[in-house]
């Protein structure tokens, strides 16, 4: 018989490494920026462990695996090791993770506890009980196999001999080699016998083996004459025996007597150079396999969502009853379903979470989904259901059409929640849940904005007080104090010096004139535009006097409180595209002018860094869900009149990456299309760089009847009969407003789908008439919707129309160039969007235009502060008025947010409470802890 063919582990492992290298290249080409990651955790400093680890690190580098060696000292405790393992388990960049054994610690450590602490999906050594259990059950595709047995199987495959039906003998029963080798051969359909030190008929059993795997740890224990002719012999042993011919005085041998065995076997592995090189190659292969499983599981845009089934009731119960009847999914489940990693999610209880901005970097090479904005015709004071339609649409797209879809909505102020309007979670069977969490504190973002805003307000008055009561040198000594004999400017003070043209960093080097310029902001109290805020409707704070305490030495002034959501900090949050951008915008916020007419900023006050600290968590979008289990981002809630009235850019950007190129992100713009949509396009899209695919324009029969000449609609008062009985004439006449708002949307080059939000008092003829008029006015499509009563099912026609519209030609464009003069930009909006003949700037507005142009703010976008109840400045003018002159009372600047806002008429920034506020009906059940009465 010819001698056995040598199974060279060096050659086969080299082939494996080349194959893995190519797989990694293909992986990184398909997923730019991605690399398989291997972590090796070592305790202590054993020489043999160091050698093995260096071999693994070298192999990983050759293949393209990102390998990280974490070395704990030999003083490490079991708790230290477990803490490190927990961190690596949670790291999404680590796909394979091994603990180098033995653990070289001065402290007692339970090795099995440590190996079982490694996450099974990262346990590329295959040593955890879970992976061992799966292997023993035959779940080979759902576990990791220890590297040595896996290498042995690869060598056996190289022979070309079929394992199935062969008799196999494994000598050794260790957890690392013998036991898993038995299972591996068994589930490859061999008939397997395991032998060990207590086997009395070892030679006899070996003689029956077609395949022999030896891992006994005893030098040349298996003799050649035992071996069945033609057997495959895999020798896993590494033993040292004396050899005087070697310089070291010893040589390495296996567990098989090689020279005699190779005369009997058909294939045999040498020692060294057989199984050894395969072990490292298989570790690399398992790491690549783990990375592939990770990509398959977390492939961007590949969602596996569990949707909630609605149990519809007639009549439709109250909003809070519906919300309570729904059992939301744990928010960490929602996060996992949409492809967020555990370390990208900060849980705030069971139903809400914040999402780290790092997800944008991870997904930066992924294409965006389709971008849809929901707006409306000019509404009644009751609102026409934009939020409800937004939620209904995403429920239809997600739970019924199985598209990846995110809703991005504003966080509501608590003022209206306890005032007259109520909450803003949607309504009926289209809600963000839990609605009490949504409508109340959520994750504290609005409270953080309140604190940040009021810190700026306090800084303004404190600075004026100190400048009025101290000399230049006294101010300087306090602003740049000597600490342990050393005076030093802070970073923000260096920025102020640079702004003043003073290029010095030594506080002792400033001249008297430079000290004066540095310490004196010289704020003109009459120019202060920054007010204190509170998230409560309180009419008695609309005008107040501050500084009446004797400690303020008579320095009092008239001021006011605004509601928190009107703060420029809220607008900054909504338009920022990251923490750094938000901080820069804070620094640019203009709070007043100096007596010389120079803008005074938050940076000048020295408060920018502190604002960033207060807002560092607020910048992260809040994750919630709808009644039917589709994901929602709730983030930012700027006013829709003096600000742009849209949720955050960051939430939209993250959502667009998460849904993938075929998914949808549906966001809502405040008030009617003439206000919220126009600002969405000209301000939000301008700063975000995002381009919308579809406009959904919400219309109701009720609002169209009002525009057609129906009686006034008043919140809290029953509707006149004109609104509850069929009146086609009023509807037809009111469609002038619908036609104009369709024209407004099409002006920006985006397809428009009209959603006719049906109420129970609407007749079929009325609804059909609206659909007909909308299509004739140029809408891409118009459909009736019954989502309030039916959930996503009632918005299916809308969802399908939006899908079709998203494929239609899109020529998005802005209405104006920001480089135009301020007055020209205002006039364009008034004439093109509102239908005005011209504009008229009152003297105060003229002065502000001149001032802002001089201060360098003339190239900012325009954010019109106008009534939402009419296309004109007069809330009593309904329909689509034309030929009017739009009066501009004043112009103000939100420089940090990045826009100028002309005031058309009087804008209240602090609502008041009505005679009977909502809070009369809101209560807490002290036994169950449930909130009652919210809507």
Q: Please list the active-site residues.
A: 56
Token pair, residue 430, equals 């289209």
Q: Looking up tokens 């003829």, which residue turns up? A: 765
Task: Give the closest residue to 780 by CA, choosing from 761, 813, 803, 814.
Answer: 803
Q: Is residue 613 a contact partner of residue 628, using CB atoms and an 8 Å limit?
A: no
**C-alpha torsion angle, residues 857, 860, 866, 872 (rounded to 10):** 110
Return the half-sphere exposure (C-beta side, CA atoms, 13 A cut-off) of residue 917.
Answer: 16
Task: Give the closest residue to 406 by CA, choosing from 690, 625, 629, 632.
Answer: 632
455: CB partners within 8 A, 6+ apart: 607, 610, 611, 614
Q: Is residue 233 a contact partner of residue 221, using CB atoms and an 8 Å limit?
A: no
Q: Is residue 121 a contact partner of residue 290, using CB atoms and an 8 Å limit?
A: yes
Number of Cβ within 10 Å of residue 309's Cβ equals 8
Task: Give the closest residue to 286 by CA, choosing from 131, 145, 162.
Answer: 145
Q: Is residue 870 a contact partner of residue 876, using CB atoms and an 8 Å limit?
A: yes
Cα torsion 394, 397, 402, 406: sign: negative
Token pair, residue 6, equals 């040598």
Q: How far is C-alpha 5 from the chain's CA centre?
A: 57
Strands 486-487 and 482-483: antiparallel
Task: Give the closest residue to 606 by CA, choosing from 729, 490, 716.
Answer: 490
Specify the 3-state DSSP secondary structure of 816. Answer: coil
Token pair, residue 116, equals 């079982």
Q: Is residue 76 a contact partner of residue 42, using CB atoms and an 8 Å limit?
A: no
For 444-466, letters b (16+ CB in 10 Å) and e give ebbbbbbbbbbbbbebbbebbee
Q: Is residue 387 a contact partner of residue 668, using CB atoms and an 8 Å limit?
A: yes
Task: Give the closest residue to 896 by CA, choosing from 522, 606, 614, 576.
Answer: 576
For 797-830, letters b (16+ CB in 10 Å) and e give bbbbbbbebbeeeeeeeebbebeeebbebbbbbb
Number of Cβ within 10 Å of residue 317's Cβ equals 14
CA distance 556 to 540: 18
CA distance 592 to 870: 32
């Amino acid at each position: 018989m010819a001698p056995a063919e040598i199974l060279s582990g060096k050659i086969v492992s080299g082939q494996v490494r080349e194959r893995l290298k190519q797989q990694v290249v293909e992986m990184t080409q398909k997923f730019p920026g991605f690399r398989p990651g291997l972590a090796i955790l070592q305790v202590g400093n054993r020489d043999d462990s160091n050698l093995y680890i260096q071999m693994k690190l070298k192999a990983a580098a050759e293949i393209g695996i990102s390998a990280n060696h974490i070395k704990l000292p030999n003083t490490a405790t079991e708790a230290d090791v477990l803490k490190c393992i927990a961190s690596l388990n949670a790291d999404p960049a680590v796909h394979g993770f091994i603990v180098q054994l033995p653990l070289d610690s001065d402290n007692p450590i339970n090795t099995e506890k440590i190996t079982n602490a490694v996450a099974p999906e990262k346990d590329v050594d295959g040593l955890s009980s879970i992976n061992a259990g799966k292997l023993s059950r035959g779940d080979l595709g759902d576990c990791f196999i220890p590297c040595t047995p896996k290498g042995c199987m690869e060598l056996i495959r190289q022979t070309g001999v079929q394992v199935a039906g062969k008799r196999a003998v494994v000598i050794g029963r260790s957890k690392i080699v013998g036991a898993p080798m038995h299972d591996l051969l068994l589930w490859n359909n061999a008939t397997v016998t395991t032998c060990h030190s207590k086997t009395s008929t070892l030679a006899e059993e070996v003689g029956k083996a077609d395949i022999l795997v030896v891992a006994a740890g005893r030098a040349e224990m298996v003799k050649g004459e035992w071996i069945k002719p033609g057997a495959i012999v895999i020798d896993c042993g590494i033993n040292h025996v004396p050899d005087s011919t070697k310089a070291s005085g010893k040589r390495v041998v296996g567990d098989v007597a090689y020279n005699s065995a190779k005369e009997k076997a058909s294939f045999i592995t040498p020692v060294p150079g057989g199984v050894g090189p395969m072990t490292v190659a298989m570790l690399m292969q398992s790491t690549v396999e783990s990375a592939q499983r990770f990509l398959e599981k977390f492939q961007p845009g590949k969602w596996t969502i569990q949707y909630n089934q609605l149990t519809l009731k007639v009549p439709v119960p109250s909003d809070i009853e519906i919300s309570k009847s729904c059992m939301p999914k744990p928010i960490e489940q929602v996060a996992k379903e949409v492809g967020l990693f555990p370390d990208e999610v900060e849980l705030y209880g069971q139903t809400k979470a914040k999402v780290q901005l790092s997800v944008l970097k991870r997904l930066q090479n992924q294409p965006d989904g389709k971008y849809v904005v929901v707006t409306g015709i000019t509404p009644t004071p009751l609102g026409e259901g934009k939020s409800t339609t937004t939620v209904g649409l995403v429920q239809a797209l997600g739970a019924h059409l199985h598209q990846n879809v995110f809703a991005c909505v504003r966080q509501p102020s608590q003022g209206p929640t306890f005032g007259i309007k109520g909450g803003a979670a949607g309504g009926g069977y289209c809600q963000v849940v839990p609605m009490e969490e949504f409508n109340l504190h959520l994750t504290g973002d609005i409270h953080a904005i309140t604190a940040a805003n009021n810190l700026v307000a306090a800084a303004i008055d404190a600075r004026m007080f100190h400048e009025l009561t101290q000399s230049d040198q006294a101010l300087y000594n306090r602003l740049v104090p000597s600490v342990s004999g050393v005076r030093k400017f802070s970073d923000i003070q260096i920025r102020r010096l640079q702004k003043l043209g003073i290029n010095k960093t030594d506080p002792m080097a400033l001249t008297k004139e430079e000290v004066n310029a540095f310490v004196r902001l010289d704020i003109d109290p009459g120019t202060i535009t920054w007010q204190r805020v509170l998230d409560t409707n309180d009419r008695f704070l609309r005008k107040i006097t501050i500084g009446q305490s004797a400690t303020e030495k008579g320095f009092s002034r008239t001021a006011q409180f605004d509601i928190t959501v009107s703060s420029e900090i809220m607008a900054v949050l909504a338009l920022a595209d990251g923490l750094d951008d938000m901080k820069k915008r804070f620094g640019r916020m203009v709070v007043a002018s100096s007596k010389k007419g120079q803008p005074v900023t938050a940076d000048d006050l020295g408060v920018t860094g502190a604002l960033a600290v207060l807002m560092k968590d607020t910048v992260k979008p809040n994750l919630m869900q709808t009644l039917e289990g589709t994901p929602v981002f709730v983030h930012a809630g700027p006013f829709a009149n003096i600000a742009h009235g849209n949720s955050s850019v960051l939430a939209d950007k993250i959502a667009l990456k998460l849904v993938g190129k075929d998914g949808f992100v549906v966001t809502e713009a405040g008030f009617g299309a003439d206000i919220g949509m126009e600002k969405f396009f000209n301000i939000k899209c301008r700063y975000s760089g995002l381009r919308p695919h579809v406009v959904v324009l919400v219309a109701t029969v009720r609002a169209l009847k009002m525009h057609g000449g129906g009686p006034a609609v008043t919140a809290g008062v029953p509707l006149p009969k004109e609104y509850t009985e069929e009146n086609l004439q009023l509807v037809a006449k009111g469609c002038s407003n619908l036609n104009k708002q369709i024209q407004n949307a099409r002006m920006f080059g985006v397809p428009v789908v009209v959603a006719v939000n049906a109420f129970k008092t609407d007749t079929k003829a009325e609804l059909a008439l609206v659909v007909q008029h909308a299509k004739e006015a140029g809408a891409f499509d118009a459909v009736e919707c019954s989502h309030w009563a039916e959930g996503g099912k009632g918005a299916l026609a809308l969802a399908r129309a939006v899908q079709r519209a998203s494929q239609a030609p899109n020529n998005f464009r802005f209405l104006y160039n920001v480089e135009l003069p301020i007055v020209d930009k205002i006039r364009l909006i008034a004439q093109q969007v509102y239908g005005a003949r011209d504009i008229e700037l009152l003297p105060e507005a003229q002065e502000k235009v001149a001032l802002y142009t001089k201060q360098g703010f003339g190239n900012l976008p325009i954010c019109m502060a106008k009534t939402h109840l009419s296309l004109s400045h007069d809330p009593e003018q309904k329909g689509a008025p034309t030929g009017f002159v739009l009066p501009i009372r004043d112009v103000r600047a939100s420089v940090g947010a990045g826009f100028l806002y002309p005031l058309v008429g009087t804008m209240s920034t602090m609502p008041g409470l009505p005679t009977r506020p909502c809070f009369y009906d809101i209560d807490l059940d002290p036994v169950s802890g449930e909130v009652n009465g919210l809507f």
